[in-house]
Chain A
Amino acid sequence: MAFQIPTVKYSGKINEVPIGPAKVMVGGQNAYSFHTFEGSFPNKPKIALDVWDYDPSEEWPEALRQAFAGVMGDPGAWAGKCVEYGADIVVLHLKSSDPNDKNTGADHAVAAVQKVLDAVSCPVVIFGVDNKDKDVETLSAVAEKFAGKNLILGPVTEKNYKQIGAQALAYGHTVIARTPIDVNLAKQLNILLTGLGLPKDKIIVDPTTGGLGYGMEYGYSVMERISMAALVQQDDNLQQPMISFFGEDVWKSKEANLPTAENPQLGDATCRGVLMETTEAVAVLGAGVSVLSMRHPASVKLVREYVELAYDGGDVKGDLPKVPITEF
């Protein structure tokens, strides 16, 4: 008797969420990631690149500064560069609005969003600083000013979902619901948001990830459990597509910021950061993530090629980033 792969009985599917003015679809899969032999995957995972609303040259490692040299001071030019590098989505982080830091106001946020929207036509995520009151202030202003553009606004948390959710609903935007590494909290926030009247095709969830080597396993397993609840246990309050912001964690880590010469055993600094980002990308994709928020263009290239091959089959081709062998 010929071998047959023992199958899993799937009973649910991830909701499809159309993002951006052109309604790019995310989600829609009805099986575990990469399990092409037993499910359908109408929309491959999407890759986003980060843009900040101020020039983070002083905080970002060399690898990223090089990739975005000359554009980091201008969110519009920077966003354009992201698209040139192959990003499906641009994430504009309103970092300067942090009350613990530069504390810029809503007008600054609106101006930055305007620059990005003038420069690119792909879906755009507008991301606050996870400060419940400040995010309400900036994201509300952005929601109103750019009514009907179907921006993706986040993070929406248990503490400010009412305000931001209402704005998204009123002005036709999508939201990112963020909860701290917990299946039940993720479910709860989905229920609260749909209770507000926000339709399920307007919600993407961020169950919080954790960096590679810095507790990734907690978020990883929460995401696997969410996938399982959504697909196998048909929990319709957990069937939203997931986004993961691991790129930020990776590039903040000590190892991604260490120059090659300081520890050659860790390899070339740029390549190390890129492969840390790529490694975590492939891992969280496997856990069920539909949108990856990353930072380096070389990671985008690698992960894109990996995703194509994993879903469509075939041999590795294309011009991929090389690993320089570091002697020591």
Chain B
Amino acid sequence: MALTGIQIFKMLPGTNCKKCGAATCLAFAMNLASGKAELDACPDVSEESREKLSAASAPPIRPLTIGYGDTAIKIGGETVLFRHEKTFFNPTGIAALINDSESDADIAAKVKRYQKMQYSRVGLNLRPELVVVKGGARLADAAKAVVANSDLSVILYSEDPAALKAAAEALAGKNPLIGPATKANCAEVAAVAKEAKAPVWLKAASMDEVAELTKALTAAGLKDIVIDSGARTVKEVFTDSVAIRRAALGGNRDYGFPTIAFPAEITDNLAMQTAIASALIAKYAGVVVLGDLDGAMVFPLLLERLNIFTDPQRPMTMVQDIYPINNPGENSPVLVTTNFSLTYFIVSSEVEGSRVPCWLLIKDSEGLSVMTAWAAGKFSGDDVGQFVKKIGIEEKIKHKSVVIPGYAASISGDMEEELPGWNITIGPREAAHLTKFLKDYKTA
């Protein structure tokens, strides 16, 4: 729990030596309490105080990283139950379950396919990051087949500590998530994870056992722990997901870790696994594990994840640019609107739906929608006119026509002054009417 400045002050050396940059220890303590300073800035703080202070200032859910390279993902670190209360920080990892009984050739083919599931959207690359390798005897070989044939990161799944050890060694430097630590093998698996300096996951048989295992793993010196409550029904996996998040945010350190959930082990049906994963991406899973990956499953889940983990305080904006839709040519219509991502999405999806090739010009309006941007003076006639001139659309078209949003109708006069010789047409107010509008619209 958060400490006050005074509580922190009592644990500092009290010499007011100023090495931390603050005038006094008390001033430094106040800065620490408000998050404006890092404890490391004081070179003289005792080891004991350091431990106490870092434990007290630790986030309620341990943030940790699984994997390596491009597919390394950070999970945990969340602070709220509802995204509108602040934001959800670290998107749920999406994983496929592979059995070590599958041949290396089959594994290679699968992971090569998974690696190609990459989709670009609003300047981001969306993709599944992880493969869970499950088994025993062939765990190390199967894990090697995954990393040899793809850049995907690995979660190891075996209750046999010897198999885990061999596989962890085979994945040295690739930071796999290792487990599960269970009631039966906790000490041995902890030793493997410790030696490999890798994060560990636990699989419990009940919520009480979750706490027993996190305590045991913590006592063994491990910090990066991921929880599987062991739930394997739709109802229980959701309930446990909510329970763990609430307990953690309520300050119960035994549950202050990210989670992993296994739709793959709830049902064989991949479509139902997708539905289960949807609920768990929205409600608190750190990683969801599916039985196999196909674009039809992964793409919707990636979109959901993108939406749910967008910071509500910072609306997504589009880069000011020319966006071609439906392969436009030199006679295609030119539409202009604001850079609020929702505006862009709605307008672009209507234009796509109309099948009419168009140039969509997105003007920076500080992330405001058309009506608000216009009212705030961020979408004035002079502004939009100059923007059309300098964005370089003239080199792509043979006409001089541009369509403005209906809600910004009143800027057309000023735009005409700014763009002599151009035809300014007022488009519909609602994007829903664009299809009909574009059917009749002719450039001049």
When chains A and B are docked, how far (Å) is the Cα of A257 from the Cα of B118?
Answer: 19
Decide yes or no whether A159 CB sits under 8 A from chain B: no
Please state if A286 and B283 are interface contacts (CB–CB under 8 Å). Answer: yes
Query: Which residues in A have their C-beta under 8 angstroms from that of B269?
Result: 316, 320, 322
Looking at A78-86, A167-175, A259-267, the stretch in contact with chain B turns out to be A259-267
B425 an interface residue at 8 Å Cβ cutoff?
no
Q: Please judge, given known A-B contacts A286-B282, A314-B233, A328-B116, whether A253 and B297 are in contact too, CB under 8 Å.
A: no
CB of B108 to closest CB in A, whole Å: 14
Query: Within 8 Å CB of A264, what residues of B?
Result: 295
Report the nearest A residue to B116, measured CB to CB: A265
For A306, give its contact among B275, B312, B352 (CB under 8 Å). Answer: B275
| A residues less than 8 Å from B169 (CB atoms) | none
Check A100 against B275 for contact (C-beta < 8 Å).
Answer: no
Whether the Cβ atoms of A325 and B294 lie closer than 8 Å is yes
Cα A5 to Cα B243 with chains together (Å):
5
Q: Does A221 contact B236, Cβ atoms closer than 8 Å?
A: no
Contact B274 A217 (CB under 8 A): no
B307 at the A interface (CB under 8 A): yes
Given A215-B341, A217-B83, residue A280 in contact with residue B304 (CB < 8 A): yes
Mark interface residues in A1-16 (1 if CB within 8 Å of B CB, else 0). Answer: 0110110000000000
B372 at the interface (CB under 8 A from A): no
Question: At the interface, yes or no: A305 with Cβ under 8 Å from chain B?
Answer: yes
* A window 241-298: CB within 8 A of B: 252-255, 257, 263-268, 271-272, 274-276, 278-283, 286-287, 298
**Are A274 and B271 also in contact (CB < 8 A) when A3-B207, A5-B246, A217-B308 are?**
yes
Give the residues from 264 to 298 in chain B that come closer than 8 angstroms, CB to CB, to chain A.
266-267, 269-272, 274-276, 278-279, 281-283, 292, 294-298
Question: In the assembly, what is the distance between CA of A29 and CA of B84, in Å?
Answer: 22
Question: B234 at the A/B interface (Cβ < 8 Å)?
Answer: yes
From known contacts A36-B239, A272-B295, A274-B271, infer whether A279 and B278 are also in contact, taking CB-CB under 8 Å: yes
Q: Given the complex, which residues of A lie within 8 Å of B278, measured CB to CB?
A: 278-280, 282-283
Complex Cα gap A211–B306 (Å): 12
Residue B441 interfacial (CB < 8 Å): no
Q: Are B235 and A306 in contact (CB under 8 A)?
A: no
**Residue from A214, A255, A257 within 8 A of B299 (CB atoms):** A255
Cβ–Cβ contact A212 & B307, under 8 A? yes
Q: B210 contacts which chain A residues (CB < 8 A)?
A: 3
Stretch in B56-64, B192-200, B342-350, B375-383 with 4+ CB within 8 Å of A = B342-350
A238 to chain B, nearest CB (A): 14
**A310 at interface by CB-CB < 8 Å:** yes
A267 to B, closest residue via Cβ: B296
- Pick the contact of A326: B296, B300, B349 (CB < 8 A): B296
- Tell me the bound Cα distance from A211 to B276 in angstroms: 19
Residues of B within 8 A of A21 (CB): none
For residue B238, which residues in chain A have a CB less than 8 angstroms away from its CB? Answer: 34, 310
- Give the residues in chain B near A213, CB-CB below 8 Å: 121, 303-304, 306-307, 345
List of A residues within 8 angstroms of B349 by Cβ: 211, 214, 252-254
Q: Which of A219-243 contact B (CB under 8 A)?
A: 220-221, 224-225, 228
Near A by CB (< 8 A), chain B positions 14-34 give none
A272, A276, A315: the one contacting B233 at CB < 8 Å is: A315
The answer to whether A271 touches B306 (Cβ under 8 A) is: no
Interface SS majority for chain B: helix
Q: Is the CB of A328 within 8 A of B342?
A: no
B393 part of interface (Cβ distance < 8 Å): no
Known contacts A224-B82, A316-B266; is-contact A215 B233 (Cβ 8 Å) = no
Contact between B235 and A313 (Cβ–Cβ < 8 Å)?
yes
- Interface bits A296-317 vs B (CB < 8 Å: 1, else 0): 0010001101100111111110
Q: How far is the CA of A215 from the CA of B318 in the complex (A)?
A: 13
Contacts of B147 in A (CB 8 A): none
A2 vs B341: C-alpha distance when bound (angstroms): 47
Given A221-B312, A278-B278: A212 and B303 within 8 A (CB)? yes
- State whether A100 touches B308 (Cβ < 8 A): no
Q: CB distance B303 to A276 under 8 Å?
A: yes
Instruction: Give the complex CA separation of A224 and B294 in angstroms.
Output: 30
Q: How far is the CA of A101 from the CA of B269 in the complex (A)?
A: 42
CA separation between A64 and B84, bound complex, in Å?
34
Min C-beta distance of A30 to chain B, whole Å = 16
Q: Is B250 an interface residue (CB 8 A)?
A: yes
Chain A nearest CB, measured from B252 CB (Å): 8
Query: Nearest CB to that of B351 among chain A residues?
Result: A254
Q: How far is the CB of B398 from chain A (nearest CB, A)?
A: 27
Contacts of B350-377 to chain A: CB distance below 8 A: 352-353
For the complex, is A35 an interface residue (Cβ under 8 Å from B)?
Answer: yes
Complex Cα spacing A280 to B117, Å: 20
The answer to whether B121 touches A221 (Cβ under 8 A) is no
- Which of B207, B278, B282 has the largest number of chain A CB atoms within 10 A? B278
Q: Bound complex: CA of A223 vs CA of B341, how far in Å? A: 20
B304 touches A275 (CB 8 A): no
Q: How far is the CA of A268 from the CA of B295 in the complex (A)?
A: 8
- The answer to whether A309 touches B84 (Cβ under 8 A) is no
With A130-B432, A278-B274 given, name 20 new contacts (CB 8 A).
A3-B208, A34-B283, A211-B349, A213-B121, A213-B303, A214-B349, A220-B307, A252-B353, A267-B299, A271-B271, A276-B303, A282-B275, A302-B272, A309-B233, A309-B235, A310-B234, A311-B235, A313-B235, A316-B266, A328-B113
22 pairs from A and B in contact (CB 8 Å cutoff): A5-B246, A6-B252, A36-B235, A100-B436, A213-B304, A217-B83, A217-B308, A218-B342, A220-B307, A221-B82, A267-B295, A267-B296, A272-B296, A276-B303, A280-B304, A283-B279, A286-B279, A302-B271, A315-B233, A316-B266, A320-B271, A323-B292
- Chain A residues in the interface with B (C-beta under 8 A): 2-3, 5-6, 34-37, 100-101, 130, 210-218, 220-221, 224-225, 228, 252-255, 257, 263-268, 271-272, 274-276, 278-283, 286-287, 298, 302-303, 305-306, 309-316, 320-328
The 4 closest A-B pairs by CB, nearest first: A267-B296, A267-B295, A213-B303, A316-B267
